[in-house]
Amino acid sequence: MSRETVMSYINVFAVLKNMEELVRVDSVSEQLIKSRNIAIQFTVHKGPKAVLAFRNGEVMLTRGGGKADIKLYFFSPEHFNRMMDGKANPVPYKGLTKISFLTGTFMKLAERLEYYLRPDEEKLKDRDYFRANTEMTAYAAFFALSEIGNHDEKALHSSHAIPDGTILVKVVNGPAVTVIKEKGSLRTVKGEPDSPRCILSFSSLESAHLVLNGKLDTYTALATGRMAMRGFIPMIENMNPILDQVAEYLQ
Amino acid sequence: MIEAKEDTKLNTYKKSQELFQRAVKVIPTGIPGHLGPVQSQFIPTSDFPFYAEKAEGSYFWDLDGNKFIDYMCAYGPNVLGYNNPVVDEAAFAQFKKGNCMALPGKVQVEFAELLVDTIDGADWAMFMKNGGDATSFAVMAARAATGRKKLVRIKGGYHGVAPWTQVDGHAGVVKEDVSNNLFMEWNDAEAFERLIREFPGQIAGLIATPYDHRIFTDNALPKPGYWQKIRQLCTDNGIVLIIDDVRCGFRLDMGGSAKYFGFEPDLACYCKALANGYNISSVVGKESLRDAASKVFYTGSYWSSAVPMAAGIACINELKRIDGPRLMIEKGEKLTEGLKKAAEANGIDLVISGVPSMFYMRIANDNSLMMHQEFCAECAKRGVFFVSHHNHFINCSLSDEDIAKTLEVAEEAFRIVKKNNPDKCN
Ligand SMILES: Cc1ncc(COP(=O)(O)O)c(C=O)c1O
The 10s digit of each residue's pLDDT in B395-404 is 999 999 999 9
Integer Cα distance of B422 and B415 in angstroms: 10
CB B191 within 8 A of CB B182: no
- A246 and A138 share a domain? yes
| A100 and A8 inside one domain | yes
User: Quick one: average pLDDT of A181-186?
Assistant: 96
Assign residue A2 a region: left if phi > 0, alpha if psi is -120 to 50, beta otherwise?
A: beta
Domain that holds residue A166: 123-250
Q: Are residues A166 and A186 in the same domain?
A: yes
**Among B179, B193, B187, CA closest to B210:** B187
Interval A86-138: pLDDT, tens: 888 888 888 888 888 888 899 999 999 999 999 999 999 999 999 999 999 99
| Mean residue pLDDT across chain A | 93
What is the average per-residue pLDDT within B209-227?
Answer: 97
- pLDDT given for residue B229 in this prediction: 98
- The confidence score (pLDDT) of residue B171 equals 85
Instruction: Over range B113-130, report the average pLDDT.
Output: 98
Q: What is the pLDDT of residues B94-107, one digit of tens each?
A: 999 999 999 999 99
> pLDDT exceeding 70 applies to what percent of chain A?
100
Interchain contact B43–A (C-beta under 8 A): yes
H helical segments located in chain A: 3-10, 19-25, 27-33, 77-84, 99-101, 107-117, 121-124, 127-151, 153-161, 205-212, 218-223, 234-250
CATH for A103: 3.30.1050.10
> Is residue B3 predicted with pLDDT exceeding 70?
no
For residues A241 and A136, state if they share a domain.
yes
User: Burial, B3: exposed, middle or buried (Cβ in 10 Å; 0-12, 13-18, 19+)?
Assistant: exposed
- Global pTM reads 0.92
Same-domain status, A92 and A140: no
What percentage of residues in chain B have a pLDDT greater than 90?
Answer: 96
Quickly count: other Cβ atoms within 10 Å of residue B252's Cβ. 23
Please state, in angstroms and as integers, the Cα–Cα distance from residue A70 to each residue in A34, A37, A42, following that order.
18, 12, 9
pLDDT per residue as tens digits for the range A216-241: 888 889 888 999 999 999 999 999 88
| Domain count for chain A | 2
Residue numbers in B near A225 (CB within 8 A): 44-46
* Model ipTM value: 0.86
For residue B157, give the nearest of B207, B230, B226, B231 by alpha carbon: B207
Domains in chain B (CATH in brackets) are 14-65+325-424 (3.90.1150.10), 85-322 (3.40.640.10)
Please compute the mean of the pLDDT values over residues B194-221 and round it to a whole number: 97
Element containing residue B312 per DSSP (H, E): helix B306-322
pLDDT at position B80 over 50? yes
CA distance B323 to B303: 28
- Tell which of A93, A117, A141 closes a domain: A117
DSSP run (H or E) holding B326:
helix B324-344
CB-CB under 8 Å, B21 with A232:
no
Q: Which of A91, A117, A143 is the last residue of a domain?
A: A117
pLDDT of B6 > 50? The answer is: no
Do A138 and A96 sit in the same domain of this protein? no
Alpha helices for B147-272 (secondary structure H): 175-178, 189-198, 226-237, 257-260
| B421/A contact by beta carbon, under 8 A | no
DSSP letter at B400 equals: H
Give the chain A residue nearest B371 (alpha carbons). A231
β-bridge mates for residue B148, sequence order? none
Question: What pLDDT, on a 0 to 100 scale, did the predictor assign at position A99?
Answer: 84
Same domain, A66 and A179: no
At position A195, the amino acid (one-letter code) is S
Answer whether B212 contacts ligand 1 (Cβ < 6 A). Answer: no
Find the mean pLDDT for residues B269-286: 98
pLDDT of B1 above 60: no
Residue A7 pLDDT > 70: yes
Nearest-angstrom CA–CA distance, B50 and B19? 9
Q: What is the pLDDT of residue B33?
A: 93
In this structure, the answer to whether residues A153 and A109 fall within a common structural domain is: no
Confidence at residue B327, expressed as pLDDT on a 0 to 100 scale: 98
Which residue among A84, A117, A150 closes a domain?
A: A117
A234 Cβ under 8 Å from any chain B Cβ: yes
A88 and A35 fall within a common domain: yes
Same domain, A83 and A14: yes
Task: Give the pLDDT confidence score for residue B7 in this predicted structure.
Answer: 53
In the predicted structure, residue B203 carries a pLDDT above the cut 60? yes
With 80 as the cut, is the pLDDT of residue B278 above it? yes
* The dihedral formed by the CA atoms of A137, A143, A148 and A150, expressed in degrees to the nearest 10: 170
Going from the C-alpha of B177 to that of each of A50, B168, B169, B313, the distances in angstroms are 39, 8, 11, 36
Among the listed residues B55, B44, B107, the one whose alpha carbon sits nearest the alpha carbon of residue B83: B55
- CB contact burial A36-74 (16+ within 10 A = b; e otherwise): eebbbbbbbeebbebbbbbeeeebebeeeeeebbbbbbb
Evaluate if residue A38 carries a pLDDT over 50. Answer: yes
Protein residue with least CA distance to atom 8, ligand 1:
B131
Euclidean distance between CA atoms A130 and A154, whole angstroms: 33
- Please check the confidence at residue B117 and state whether its pLDDT lies above 90: yes
> Do A167 and A185 share a domain, yes or no?
yes
All residues at 6 or more sequence positions from A27 whose CB lies less than 8 Å from its CB, including other chains: none
| Amino acid at position B152, single letter | V
- The reply to whether A135 and A225 lie within a common domain is yes
Taking CB atoms and an 8 Å limit, are A231 and B31 in contact across chains?
A: no
CA A217-A204-B170 angle, 5° bins = 25
Q: What is the pLDDT averaged over residues B378-403?
A: 98
Tell me whether A194 touches chain B (CB under 8 Å): no
Centroid of chain to Cα A50: 14
In chain B, which residues have their Cβ closer than 8 Å to the Cβ of A218? 38
Quick check: CB of B211 below 6 Å from ligand 1?
no
pLDDT over 70 (residue A173): yes
Q: Cα distance from A71 to chain B (closest Cα, Å)?
A: 38
